[in-house]
Amino acid sequence: MNVFAEKFADLKILRYDVPGFETLDLNKKLYIYYLSQAALSGRDILWDQNNRYNLSIRAVLETIRQTFSGDRTSESFKLFEVYLKRIWFSNGIHHHYSTEKLPVGFSETYFSELVAQSNWSKFILPSGKSFDVFISEIKEVIFNPDKEEKRVNLDSEKDLLQSSCNNYYQDVSQAEAETFYAELKANAGTEPVSFGLNSTLVKENGQLTEKVWKLDSKYGKAIQQIIFWLNKAIDYAENELQKKYIGSLVQYYTTGDLKLFDSYSIDWVKELEGEVDFVNGFIEVYGDPMGIKGSWESIVNYKDTEATKRATILSENAQWFEDHSPVDPEFKKTEVKGVSAKVINVAILAGDCYPATPIGINLPNAEWIREQYGSKSVTIENITQAYFLDSMNNGMLEEFASSSEEIERARKYGYLAGNLHTDLHECLGHGSGKVKEGVNTENLKNYYSTIEETRADLFALYYIIDEQMIHLGLVPSEEAAKAEFDAYLRNGLITQLTRIEPGKDIEESHMRNRQLIANWVYEAGKADNVFEFVVSGGKTSVKINDYQALRGLFGRLLKEIQRIKSEGDLEAARNLVENYGVKVNRQLHEEVLARFKKLDLAPYAGFINPVYELKTWPCGTPDNVLIQYDEDYTSQMLRYSKDYGFLPMAND
């Protein structure tokens, strides 16, 4: 299979293989099929969560794309198509990573031409609005740079809610929302529900109130479909516990009761026997600058038996890693519980996991459930493999590595080392350590995500070079660990800068955490020349001189980051993130962008899903599920809008 599909703007579209799907038994195939239908059914929810105009704009642009009768070969029409492709990729009008409004490559006048020469006879307007008023509103949002500027603003100088234009809050200030949720949490005891996770917070007649996302709500039409397919999937579940938690999930979607989401999550963590697993719900909170509201996502996956052995070894030795970590004894877990780890292949990506997708998952997010019941942690093998296959041939390594040795090491050990880093990060890193009583994620406010990712990364970096890893048979030689150190610093200090626009600083949590680590160890190890920036022929690269000393520095920082999390030390978190993670070295940035430009690569990637087809014979009895990989990006997006476009356009 050809991994690379197409490239436009700053994006490339890849395909992933679903190895062994054909050889699964019929029951598992059907289970995956119905769960994947449930996954695709929630697409519109995320679009509306990201911005209230997204569904309207998508409908307008897709109608133009399908019916425009003017010149479809012109340069302007191609630019229009690129704009639509970018919107599909971002699930809305804001860049999926920077969250800033996507630039439009064509003029307002051309947009009017497109509208005038398209066929609107089948277009359903939001009620009570004339076509002209509707279109001029859309036009204003697309073209006026001051309108709907940024989806998630993390600049703490401004009111985080007033300056963000996601659709999670309406007419609510940051201070009001903080007070509202602080009051709910104050009396919630030791097993609090995830307050606010599944609702829009609005102000009605001066009063704050939550509009919960459930069957009879604004997302009801999509939720109804999700429930329909989940109920079909129940019949093919692999065991009773799976049936039980799907039942709880259905009840939760029906009522919106967050207690049911917790009981679903607890059963989901406990269920370890089945091979097929899935996530479907309001899960991650990165789309909300306050970290409260869950964006809708879904992934369906099944176990990769071979690769799971690797992660199992780690989780079986979780206590050893906890005991030997460099953090203060008072912040270590005396008993590390339920670190379940496995390697999976995804069968479908949806919602906030599509087309851009994570390479690992660690859930649930509720801290008390994690502490009492543990968490499930997975590495997505077929996605990381697709990335690796793509990266070996794009010239990045040759351009940014400091020596031929480094290149060779990366080719030989890069894939394994990257996977081991992810395993350590997900299986052990996030689950390690404990916090002081009364401290929770909100203590670190908007710095929490960055600090937590820093902690998990440092845990991985500290241990990947440990002799224990060789002893356990996970690392063939120290060279593999070296390859990971090379790659981590190369990315954290140099190559990830290719994702930042000139003059801008770093905002995304994972990028902040990588630069934080790399910059901190650089300063701490400068006097001893632990690693250095070398410039040759105008090209800057990073050269590591002492790998063991570098490991020592990772350990020192891990100790401090764990203390910050455990004590909820906001001041220290802010200082570390702001001083090391945010600001970009302008001169280096310019150089890196210029070198990157010459390679003509896209900094971001996303994936086309395979297409599943249910075969029935005789008389409607499911007989087989076929898998195909030949659908292209545009066809897939248009098909999803047609077949899974369940929500009406917002009417305000």
Shortest distance (Å) from residue 456 CB to Zn ion: 5
d(CA 143, CA 147): 8
Q: How far is the CB of 434 from Zn ion (least distance, A)?
A: 18
Rounded Cα–Cα distance for residues 585 and 189 (Å): 45
Q: In what order do the strands lie in the sheet with 207-212?
A: 169-170, 199-204, 207-212
* Measured distance CA(367)–CA(502) in Å, rounded: 38
CA distance 360 to 314: 15
The DSSP 8-state label assigned to residue 580 in this structure reads I
Residue whose CB is less far from Zn ion, 96 or 150: 96
> Pattern of binders to Zn ion over 262-301, x per CB under 5 A?
----------------------------------------
Q: How far apart are CA 397 and CA 389, in angstroms?
A: 13
Measured from the CB atom, the residue of 463 and 646 that comes closer to Zn ion is 463
Q: Is 451 in the site for Zn ion (CB under 5 A)?
A: no
DSSP string computed for 218-287? TTHHHHHHHHHHHHHHHTT-SSHHHHHHHHHHHHHHHH--HHHHHHHHHHHHH--S-SEEEEEEE---TT
CB of 37 closer than 8 Å to CB of 86 = no
Phi-psi region of 328 (alpha: psi -120 to 50; beta: other; left: phi over 0): beta
x/- track of binding to Zn ion for residues 90-129 (CB under 5 A): ----------------------------------------
What distance in Å separates the CA atoms of residue 171 and residue 605, rounded to the nearest whole number? Answer: 35
Q: Which window, 119-127, 182-190, 415-423, 450-458, contacts Zn ion (CB under 5 A)?
A: 450-458
Residues in contact with Zn ion, shown as a per-residue x/- string from 349 to 388 under the rule CB under 5 A: ----------------------------------------
CB 101 within 8 A of CB 145: yes
Q: What is the DSSP string of 472-501?
A: TTS-SSHHHHHHHHHHHHIIIIIGGGGGS-
| DSSP one-letter string for 335-346 | S---EEEEEEEE
Nearest to 62 by CA among 78, 76, 81: 81
Cα torsion angle, 123, 127, 130, 134, sign: negative
Nearer to Zn ion, 155 or 367 (CB): 367
Residue among 304 and 453 whose Cβ is closer to Zn ion: 453
Options 48-56, 111-119, 409-417, 445-453: segment touching Zn ion (CB under 5 A): 445-453
- Report the residue number, 79 or 359, with the smaller CB distance to Zn ion: 359
CB-nearer residue toward Zn ion: 248 or 340: 340
| Residue nearest Zn ion, Cβ-based | 456
- Least distance to Zn ion from the beta carbon of 360, Å? 7
CB of 145 to Zn ion, least distance (A): 34
Tokens of 110: 């051309």
The least distance separating Zn ion from the CB of residue 550, rounded to whole angstroms, comes to 21
* Size of residue set near Zn ion by CB under 5 A: 2
Measured from the CB of residue 581, what is the shortest distance to Zn ion in angstroms? 15
Any contact of residue 561 with Zn ion (CB under 5 A)?
no
Pick between residue 262 and residue 453 the one whose CB is nearest to Zn ion: 453
> 322 or 453, CB closer to Zn ion?
453
Structure tokens at 63: 């109608």
Q: How far is the CB of 44 from Zn ion (least distance, A)?
A: 28
| Cis bond upstream, residue 618 (ω within 30) | yes
> Is residue 456 a contact point for Zn ion (CB under 5 A)?
yes
Least separation, in Å, of the C-beta of 474 and Zn ion? Answer: 19
Cα distance between residue 178 and residue 221, in whole Å: 31
For the chain, what percentages of helix, strand and coil (3-state, to nearest 5) are there? 50, 15, 35
Instruction: Return the range that interacts with Zn ion (CB under 5 A); candidates 27-35, 233-241, 341-349, 449-457.
Output: 449-457
**Measured from the CB of residue 366, what is the shortest distance to Zn ion in angstroms?**
16
Q: Which is nearer to Zn ion, 102 or 451 (CB)?
A: 451
- Residue with Cβ nearer Zn ion (271 or 426): 426
Q: What is the closest distance, in whole angstroms, from the C-beta atom of residue 14 to Zn ion in the complex?
A: 22
> Nearest approach, Cβ of 247 to Zn ion (angstroms)?
30
Of 124-132, 402-410, 455-463, 520-528, which segment contacts Zn ion by CB under 5 A? 455-463
Give the binding range for Zn ion (CB under 5 A) out of 57-65, 203-211, 257-265, 447-455. Answer: 447-455
Give the nearer residue to Zn ion in terms of CB position, either 57 or 576: 576
Residues of this chain that interact with Zn ion (CB under 5 A) are 453, 456
